[in-house]
Amino acid sequence: MAAPNTEIVVVMDKDVEQQRLSFDEGSNTDNDQLVEYDPQPALQREIWGWYAYSWAVDGWTAASASVFMPLIISTMAYTGGRNVVDPAKPCNLAQPCMVKLGTSEVTPSSYTLYVTAIAILIQAIIYIQLGAVADHSGEFSYYLPKLARNTPSVRDEKDPVERAKKLTLQTSNISLSGFTAGYVGGMIQMGLSIGESQMSQSCVLYAMGSSFKGLIIGCAIGGIWWSLFTIIPHIFVTRRRGPLLPKGENYFTYPWKRLGKTMRRISHLSHLFQYLLMWLFLSDGLYTILKVAVLFAQTVVRASSLVILTGSLLTMAVGGPSTVLWKWIERRYSIRPKIMLIILSLLICFIPLYSLVGLSPNVAGGTLAYARSTFAEIVPIGRENEMYSMFLITQGGGGWIGPLITGVITDKTGNMRYCDLVILVFILVAVIWLYFINIEEAKKQAVAAAKFEAEEFGIKQIKDDQSS
């Protein structure tokens, strides 16, 4: 059924239930109606496109951004620094070393963390600019809630409570499977980068060893990997419409107006914004762990670049199966995504407690996946792009605060072990905050926001006969 001069929309009572209900059999329902802007069934090729995106991007993040880049920056710092004990000798791990950062002198490890913080801050600012203009800084992440609620198993379920359960599980499943693909991609990428070739000296992939040139080539492979495999999701994924641009508005100014309007109505989505602030702390802890772990191994353990890269490869090899394990546990014991997120976040606390040795199964990928899928449940329909832009901006914001603080600590104390305390505090604060966030209330606020959005755009709400 179509409204005159408007896009085809579908309104179903069960769409309200899927936003409001989760595993709570006793949840109350009403007859509110809600617009679904793009009700097309999710095709299998779209889901494979989502996995391909994770294969490309998460592989680069796990290998190049988290391992190669800290090693490259740290090596550059040691090369350009001065030996404090004997200025005639080059910097080395056995003696104190200082390197110029602006007008100050800092340790090579602090230099790496400071540069990382500055780079991520600039990246976050770019995200804000591009996201406000193009409303696409969320990249393909905004596709998650759209895909989950339009998969056949969710769409075909008639019972609203069962539909809500399937939606929750489907959202987590797609998110976790995406991270699994990312870990596999990262493992292959890392394997290519550190693999030895006995064919000839002219072969591009030669032994990494501890050579600086080898690190550069390994990082470059990550960039090529991302560029090539990002083409696949653009081919497989179909663009799904959101609300139409209001009459008289344009794509350059309207997103800024909409963002300003959203910020003025924070109280109407209070639980969602609390979740974003919680994610600022949690993502900060998670991403700082990755950076500090590499520098810890290099400066405290004094492991070679090849040993660090090999250890990272083994970590990624464990990461893929671990996400499958968490998915099985969620289904087997019917655990809500929020509870899974709390459990995995608490498990991560053992990493800084054991000085980043990481004896437990890899939990970082599962934590990120459940953070993303939980957020998908509380995003208002029609505002996926905007909200996931904020999600990634918050994630980027968290990515520079931790390195900055740990950089100062390392510089002032000369002991990277104190950084573990900062990471532990960030994660524990996030877990406590998450515990008090009411996800069910957040879903109700999302429904109300989506209804308000539909009325604001002047879209006629039509009741689907099949949902009567």
Tokens encoding 99: 């390197």
Q: How many CB atoms lie within 10 A of CB 25?
A: 8
Tokens encoding 295: 């520098």
What is the count of structural domains for the chain? Answer: 1
Cα 193 versus chain centre, distance: 24
Rounded mean pLDDT, 355-382: 73
* pLDDT confidence of residue 437: 95
* pLDDT confidence of residue 129: 57
% of the chain at pLDDT higher than 90: 19
DSSP state of 35: E
Domain membership flag for residue 133? yes
Domain membership flag for residue 1? no
Structural domain harbouring 87: 24-463
Domain membership flag for residue 225? yes
* pLDDT confidence of residue 207: 43
Closest CA to 365 of 183, 230, 222: 183
Q: How do residues 222-269 score in pLDDT, each as one tens digit?
A: 888 888 998 998 888 877 766 677 777 776 777 777 777 777 878 889
Q: How far apart are CA 210 and CA 89, in angstroms?
A: 20
pLDDT band at 458; cut points 50, 70, 90: low
Q: What is the pTM of this model?
A: 0.80
Domain membership flag for residue 16? no
Whichever domain contains 62, its CATH number is: 1.20.1250.20
Domain membership flag for residue 13? no
Domain membership flag for residue 202? yes
Domain membership flag for residue 11? no
Domain membership flag for residue 78? yes
* 190 exposure class (CB count in 10 Å sphere: 0-12, 13-18, 19+): buried
pLDDT band at 289; cut points 50, 70, 90: confident
